[in-house]
C-alpha cells in the first residue's frame, strides 16, 4: 500500500562510466534518461532537484525542532510533499472529497492536516512488547487506527505532526522505527513470516535481513534512488514473500554442490505497468547476500532512469537490459567476484500465507490468523499482545498477505488462542474467500484513490460467505481490491483483481466500481509460475454489485472446471469464453 516518494551524498563514481550499459534511451526519445553513470548528475526534474538540494533524511531535525512546535501550517511544502516520506509520513486525504476530484485537485486541496504513519517492520518480526507499543500509540495518537499492509508494515492514521517526536521516541525505545518506510529509498525488507521456526524451512534468512538493515538503513549512499526499491528474502519452500514483484528478491534453493543459498531475482513491480521479476541465474551464498543486495541497489542508483518518474523503477531498466546484461554489470562493476550459476527454486508445495495451525520445528505451534482485509485497531493489537503473553509467548509476525502469525503456542493452548483471536475478529480457520481477500487503503485515507476499498471488500466477503456456504472450493480464491490504478493491492496477480474507477450510474452521474482482472497469480502450490490476469473488454462491476459478480463467476468456475486435471480458477479464467466471465 504504497505511493512513490538529500543533500544526499551520492556514491562516488569509481571508474569511467560504461556507456554501453545504459545508453538505451526512453522509448521514442533521444533525451537523456537521467542515469548518473551515463548522463551525469544534473537533475532533470523537480523531484531530482530538491533531493539533491537537501536530502529526505535531513528533514527529521526540522520535524522535531520546528514543525512539531509550529504545527501543520509551519511545514515547508517541499518537506511536506517530499522529504516527510523518508520518515514514513504522508498527508492523508481530507474527508468528504469524492473520487471524481482525485485527478483534478492539487495535493494541498486533497490533503488533510493529518498524516498516515507507516511503522517499518523488516521481516515482519515483532515482539509482544513492540505490538503493545504500536497499539498504545494508535489509541493515544491515531484514533485507534491500525492497518496491516501487504508489505508487513503497520499503518496508523490521524497522526498530528505535533505528536511525531513522541511517537518516534516510543517506537525507537522498543527497536522499531519509521526510517525510510516511504520515499525514494530501500523500503522494508520482506521476510518469511515463519523464519527460524518452520519445520520445513530450508534456511533462516533473519541474519541476512538484519545485516542489510544494520548496514544500509538510513545510509545517505542509498537515500536518493530514482524511486522506491523493494526487497524480499525467504528461506521457506512456500516462497512466501511475493518475490516475483520485488525489485530484488532472494529465494532459498539447494545447490547440488554449494549447499543451501539463494536464487537471485530482479526487476519485479506492478503499479500501472506490471513487470514480473526475472531470474539472473546466479546462486548467492548466505554470506554474500548483503554484498549482492548492495550491488543491485547500487545499479538502480547509478543506472536507474531519473528523468521521468513513471519510468523510474528498476523494472524498466531490467526490461531494457535483460537478465544477462544485468548480471554482467552486477558482477563486473559492483561485486568483488562473480557469482556461480545456480538452479531455480522448485515450485512451492504449500500455501504461502501460513493461515491455520502449524507445528514448529521445536514441537510448539504457530497460528496464522486472518483479520478482515488487514483492518485492525490499536486496542485490538494490544489485546493480541495480552492474549499471546497469557499463554507464555512473546513473538508474532506480520505477512505480505495482510495476515498475522502468532508463534510459540503450546499444544494445550492452541484452541484457547484460536478462540481468543476469533473473539477479536481474526480467524485462524477462515473461509477460502476471506482468506484470499486483501484491500488497499482506498479513498478513506489515500489521496490517489478513486473509490472506497476496505468496507466494500469487507461487505463482499461477508455476503459471499453466506451465499457460497456449503460449496467446496478447491483452493482459496484471491480477491484483491484496489482503489486506483496503482495496484497497491496487487490486482494483476490475483484470481480476481479489481481496479477502482467511477462508472456511469445510468442517470447521468457516476458510481464507484471496478475494472476486473481475472486469472493472475504468483507461483504457489496451485500454480507453476507467476502470471498476470486477463481483462475482458467492458467487464466492470459496481461496488454494490461486487458480491453478485464474484458469486456468479465462482459458481461458473465450479460448474465448468476440469476436476480431473485439478484445474484452478486462474487456469479456467484464462481459457474460459468471455461470456462465462461476465
Each residue of 59-113: pLDDT tens digit? 999 999 999 999 999 999 999 999 999 999 999 999 999 999 999 999 889 999 9
- Dist. CA 431–CA 434, nearest whole Å: 5
- Please tell me the distance from the alpha carbon of residue 573 to that of residue 551, in angstroms, as a whole number: 14
pLDDT score for 444: 97
- Please choose, from the candidates 154, 33, 43, the residue with its C-alpha nearest in 3D space to the C-alpha of residue 88: 154
6 band by pLDDT with thresholds 50, 70 and 90: very low
DSSP letter at 345?
P
pLDDT of residue 13: 31
Straight-line distance from the first to the last Cα atom of the chain, in angstroms, rounded to the nearest whole number: 28
Tell me the C-alpha distance between 153 and 181, whole Å: 9
514 φ, ψ (degrees, to nearest 5): -145, 145
Rounded Cα gap, residues 422 and 430, in angstroms = 10
Cα 539 to chain center, whole Å? 27
How many Cα neighbours within 13 Å face the side chain of 84? 25
Q: If you count them, how many residues does the chain have? A: 582
The pTM of this model reads 0.94
Q: How confident is the model at residue 403, as a pLDDT?
A: 98
pLDDT one-digit tens code per residue, 162-188 = 999 999 999 999 999 999 999 999 999
pLDDT given at position 175: 98
Q: Which helix (H) or strand (E) holds 146?
A: strand 146-148
The whole-number average pLDDT for the span 255-282 is 97
Average pLDDT, rounded, for the chain: 94
Cα Dmax for the chain: 68
Would the pLDDT of 16 be above 60?
A: no
Average pLDDT over residues 102-127: 96
Looking at the predicted structure, is the pLDDT value of residue 2 above 50?
no
* Arithmetic mean of pLDDT, 243-256: 98
Q: What is the pLDDT of residue 580?
A: 95
Is the confidence at residue 500, as pLDDT, over 50? yes
What pLDDT is stored for residue 30 in this prediction?
Answer: 80
pLDDT band of 14, cuts 50, 70, 90 = very low
25 has pLDDT over 70:
no
In this predicted structure, which of 146-155, 466-475, 524-533 has the lowest mean pLDDT? Answer: 524-533
Helix or strand holding residue 206 (H, E): helix 206-216
Mean pLDDT of 359-380: 98
Residue 4 scores a pLDDT above 60? no
**pLDDT tens-digit series, residues 315-355:** 999 999 999 999 999 999 999 999 999 999 999 988 899 99
**Dist. CA 506–CA 428, nearest whole Å:** 42
pLDDT band of 29, cuts 50, 70, 90: low
pLDDT for 115 beyond 50: yes
Bridge partners (DSSP) listed for residue 261: 253
Which pLDDT does position 528 carry in this prediction?
86
Residue 69: how many other CB atoms lie within 10 Å:
11
* Main-chain dihedrals φ then ψ at residue 126, nearest 5 degrees: -135, 150
pLDDT at 17: 34
Nearby residues of 87 by Cβ (< 8 Å), 6 or more positions away = 56, 59, 60, 63, 178, 179, 180, 181, 182
Contact criterion met (CB below 8 Å) for 448 and 465: no
Nearest to 501 by CA among 510, 491, 493, 489: 510
What does each C-alpha distance from 447 to 76, 251, 304 come to in angstroms? 19, 34, 27
pLDDT digits (tens, 9 = 90+) for 532-546: 999 999 999 999 999
The residues facing 359 across adjacent strands are 365
Query: What is residue 380's predicted lDDT score, i.e. its pLDDT?
Result: 98
Local confidence band at 11 (pLDDT 50, 70, 90 cut-offs): very low
Amino acid at each position: 500500500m504504497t505511493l512513490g516518494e538529500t543533500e544526499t551524498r551520492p556514491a562516488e563514481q569509481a571508474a569511467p562510466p560504461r556507456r554501453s550499459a545504459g545508453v538505451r534511451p526512453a522509448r521514442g526519445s533521444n533525451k537523456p534518461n537521467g542515469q548518473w553513470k551515463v548522463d551525469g548528475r544534473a537533475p532533470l526534474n523537480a523531484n531530482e532537484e530538491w533531493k539533491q538540494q537537501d536530502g529526505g533524511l535531513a528533514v527529521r531535525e526540522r520535524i522535531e525542532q520546528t514543525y512539531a512546535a509550529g504545527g501543520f501550517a509551519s511545514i515547508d511544502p517541499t518537506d511536506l510533499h517530499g522529504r516527510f516520506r523518508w520518515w514514513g509520513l504522508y498527508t492523508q486525504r481530507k474527508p468528504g472529497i469524492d473520487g471524481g476530484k482525485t485527478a483534478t485537485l492539487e495535493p494541498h486541496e486533497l490533503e488533510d492536516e493529518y498524516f498516515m504513519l507507516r511503522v517499518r517492520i523488516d521481516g515482519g518480526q515483532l515482539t509482544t512488547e513492540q505490538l503493545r507499543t504500536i497499539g498504545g500509540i494508535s489509541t493515544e495518537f491515531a484514533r485507534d487506527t491500525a492497518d496491516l499492509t501487504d508489505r508487513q508494515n503497520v499503518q496508523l492514521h490521524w497522526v498530528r505532526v505535533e505528536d511525531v517526536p513522541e511517537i518516534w521516541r516510543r517506537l525507537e525505545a522498543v527497536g522499531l522505527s519509521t526510517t525510510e518506510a516511504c520515499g525514494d529509498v530501500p523500503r522494508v525488507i520482506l521476510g518469511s513470516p515463519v523464519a527460524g521456526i518452520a519445520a520445513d524451512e530450508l534456511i533462516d534468512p533473519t541474519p541476512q535481513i538484519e545485516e542489510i538493515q544494520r548496514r544500509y538503513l538510513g545510509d545517505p549512499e542509498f537515500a536518493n534512488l530514482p524511486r522506491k526499491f523493494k526487497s524480499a528474502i525467504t528461506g521457506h519452500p512456500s516462497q512466501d514473500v511475493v518475490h516475483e514483484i520485488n525489485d530484488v528478491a532472494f529465494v532459498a534453493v539447494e545447490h547440488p554442490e554449494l549447499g543451501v543459498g539463494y536464487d537471485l531475482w530482479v526487476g519485479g513491480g506492478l503499479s500501472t505497468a506490471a513487470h514480473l521479476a526475472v531470474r539472473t541465474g546466479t546462486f548467492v551464498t548466505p554470506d554474500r547476500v548483503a554484498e549482492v543486495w548492495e550491488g543491485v541497489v547500487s545499479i538502480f542508483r547509478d543506472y536507474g532512469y531519473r528523468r521521468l518518474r513513471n519510468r523510474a523503477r528498476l523494472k524498466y531498466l531490467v526490461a531494457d537490459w535483460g537478465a544477462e546484461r544485468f548480471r554482467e554489470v552486477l558482477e563486473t562493476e559492483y561485486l568483488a567476484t562473480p557469482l556461480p550459476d545456480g538452479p531455480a527454486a522448485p515450485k512451492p508445495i504449500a500455501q504461502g500465507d501460513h493461515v491455520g495451525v502449524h507445528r514448529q520445528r521445536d514441537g510448539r505451534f504457530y497460528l496464522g490468523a486472518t483479520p478482515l482485509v488487514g483492518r485492525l485497531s490499536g486496542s485490538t493489537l494490544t489485546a493480541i499482545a495480552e492474549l499471546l503473553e497469557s499463554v507464555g509467548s512473546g513473538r508474532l509476525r506480520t505477512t505480505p498477505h495482510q495476515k498475522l502469525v502468532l508463534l510459540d503456542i503450546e499444544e494445550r493452548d492452541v484452541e484457547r488462542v484460536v478462540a481468543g483471536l476469533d473473539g477479536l475478529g481474526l480467524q485462524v480457520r477462515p473461509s477460502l474467500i476471506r482468506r484470499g481477500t486483501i484491500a488497499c487503503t482506498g479513498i478513506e485515507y489515500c489521496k490517489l484513490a478513486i473509490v472506497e476499498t476496505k468496507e466494500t471488500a469487507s461487505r463482499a466477503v461477508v455476503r459471499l460467505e453466506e451465499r457460497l456456504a456449503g460449496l467446496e472450493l478447491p483452493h482459496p480464491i484471491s480477491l484483491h481490491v484496489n482503489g486506483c490504478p496503482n495496484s497497491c493491492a496487487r490486482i494483476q496477480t490475483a484470481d480476481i483483481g479489481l481496479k477502482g474507477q467511477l462508472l456511469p450510474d445510468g442517470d447521468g452521474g457516476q458510481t464507484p466500481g471496478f475494472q476486473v482482472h481475472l486469472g493472475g497469480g504468483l507461483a504457489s502450490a496451485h500454480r507453476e509460475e507467476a502470471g498476470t490476469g486477463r481483462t475482458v473488454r467492458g467487464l466492470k462491476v459496481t461496488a454494490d454489485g461486487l458480491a453478485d459478480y464474484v458469486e456468479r463467476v465462482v459458481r461458473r468456475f465450479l460448474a465448468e472446471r476440469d476436476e480431473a486435471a485439478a484445474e484452478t480458477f486462474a487456469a479456467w479464467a484464462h481459457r474460459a469464453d468471455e461470456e462465462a466471465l461476465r
